[in-house]
A = this chain, B = another copy of it.
Amino acid sequence: MADIHALTRELHIRNDHKIVMMVADGLGGLPVEPGGPTELEAAKTPNLDALARRGVLGNSIPVLPGITPGSGPGHLGLFGYDPIRYVIGRGALEATGIGFHLHDHDVAVRCNFCTLDEQGNIVDRRAGRIPTEESTQLVEKLRSIQIPGVEVFVEPVKEHRCVVVFRAPGLGDRVADTDPQETGVPPLEPVGEDEASRKTAEVAAEFLRQARQILADQPKANFLTMRGFAEKPKLPSYEEVYGLKAAAIAVYPMYKGLAKLVGMEILGPVATLEEQIALLEEVYNDYDFFFVHFKYTDSTGEDGNFAAKVEKIEAFDAVFPRIEKLSPKVLIVTGDHSTPSYLRSHSWHPVPTLLVSDCCRPDGCEAFSEREALQGGLGHFEAKYLMSLALANAGRLGKYGA
């Protein structure tokens, strides 16, 4: 497997050329009737269309043909990290998703509150899906748990879910789930596969012992199960592999968390696209690379709301004159995957992608759309190569070999 970082690590050059990557989550779409337009084709996007005439288009394959990514692999690909090689374990992604910034050697675990009967057998693996307010209070109680030599963090997620993070040197993450995936049986004991993971398993067992006492009186959520033990993934930083001082301007914790994992600085807080662009303008001189994340093209797609996705694309289009005023050397517009409202979910379809610099080879594309992107100069490419294209267009990659 070709590792593009082996090249960018050696070849990158520092200069003051800036790269702005605008990510419209779930950008790619589908028609809702045969031969009709996609959301992007139906949207009026005069600014993106003008950029398409100056720049070069292509189709980004998030992972591999046919593979539908979640947000984690989708963004890792855009950030230039092979999403097959770099895997963010479930616990680590869950922690990332709620904005918990993992340290090296933290082990994060996704937990579900559950209901045990008097014999200690699970009768409800999700504790009746207790409301978030209730689980937040239980999390507060669990924070009293103390384990010598280990920092313990307990964070609420949604409904019956929470995240536990163990912080101590030498903890491994090869620990089996304690959720037996069925009812009528007791939860499993945590079991570690190697020495470091056995240490984690002991810590987890002690956590569970104390949690059982603390939760004993609860009518529904009288225990919890653990799944997806995961260390912070070992991702080389943007600074190291690209020589870029990078900043993320995102509204939602998941995308801030993913950017943090590759060493971007997280700016904000910001709540709207307007605020994101204002912040971009404000800090423009302070960084080399900006990742700006726009969520609503994905959420409207997941709702199956074609018209709303069109509207969100048009709102996204409207900010580009302000970005162009900043005159970035390289401007990229893409998505981490497609979310066609027809499918109401993420999909495998390639993502229309636009790259604008002063050294794009003209490809004759007249608009930013899926159909036009098929004729685009970038062709079909795996998302993981987008960053090397960005660096090249920014004059930030030297020659390979003499």
A1-42 near B? 1/0 per residue, CB < 8 Å: 110101100010000000000000000101100111010000
Q: Bound state CA distance, A63 and B94, in angstroms?
A: 37
Give the segment of A70-78, A127-135, A173-181, A192-200 that binds chain B.
A70-78
Give the nearest-CB partner of A38 in chain B. B361
A385 to chain B, nearest CB (A): 4
The winner among A88, A377, A397 for most chain B CB atoms within 10 A is A377
A59 at the interface (CB under 8 A from B): yes
Q: Bound state CA distance, A399 and B298, in angstroms?
A: 15
A299 at the interface (CB under 8 A from B): no
A278-300 near B? 1/0 per residue, CB < 8 Å: 00000000000000000000000
Determine if B72 and A401 form an interchain contact, defined as CB atoms under 8 angstroms apart.
yes
Partner of A397, one of B67, B376, B385: B67
Given that A72-B401, A84-B2, A361-B38 are known contacts, is A348 also in contact with B392, CB under 8 Å in the complex? yes
Give the nearest-CB partner of A54 in chain B. B34
A388 at the interface (CB under 8 A from B): yes
Given that A7-B67, A399-B70, A401-B69 are known contacts, is A389 also in contact with B348, CB under 8 Å in the complex? yes
Determine if B342 and A68 form an interchain contact, defined as CB atoms under 8 angstroms apart.
no
Q: Chain B contacts of A64 at CB under 8 A?
A: 2, 4, 7, 385, 388
A381 at the interface (CB under 8 A from B): yes
Partner of A67, one of B67, B88, B376, B392: B392
Q: Bound state CA distance, A379 and B381, in angstroms?
A: 10
A255 to chain B, nearest CB (A): 13
Q: Chain B contacts of A191 at CB under 8 A?
A: none
Given that A59-B379, A348-B397, A401-B88 are known contacts, is A67 also in contact with B388, CB under 8 Å in the complex? yes
Determine if A400 and B2 form an interchain contact, defined as CB atoms under 8 angstroms apart.
no
Q: Bound state CA distance, A173 and B263, in angstroms?
A: 36
Partner of A73, one of B65, B66, B345, B400: B400
Q: Chain B contacts of A390 at CB under 8 A?
A: 66
Given that A2-B1, A67-B7, A73-B401 are known contacts, is A359 also in contact with B343, CB under 8 Å in the complex? yes
Q: 12 extra interchain contacts, Cβ-Cβ under 8 A, other than A34-B54, A65-B388? A: A11-B67, A30-B361, A35-B362, A64-B385, A65-B378, A66-B391, A68-B397, A73-B400, A83-B401, A93-B401, A345-B399, A379-B379
Sample (15) of A-B pairs whose CB atoms are under 8 Å apart: A2-B64, A7-B64, A36-B362, A64-B388, A66-B388, A66-B392, A67-B397, A68-B400, A69-B400, A72-B401, A343-B359, A348-B388, A363-B374, A374-B375, A374-B379
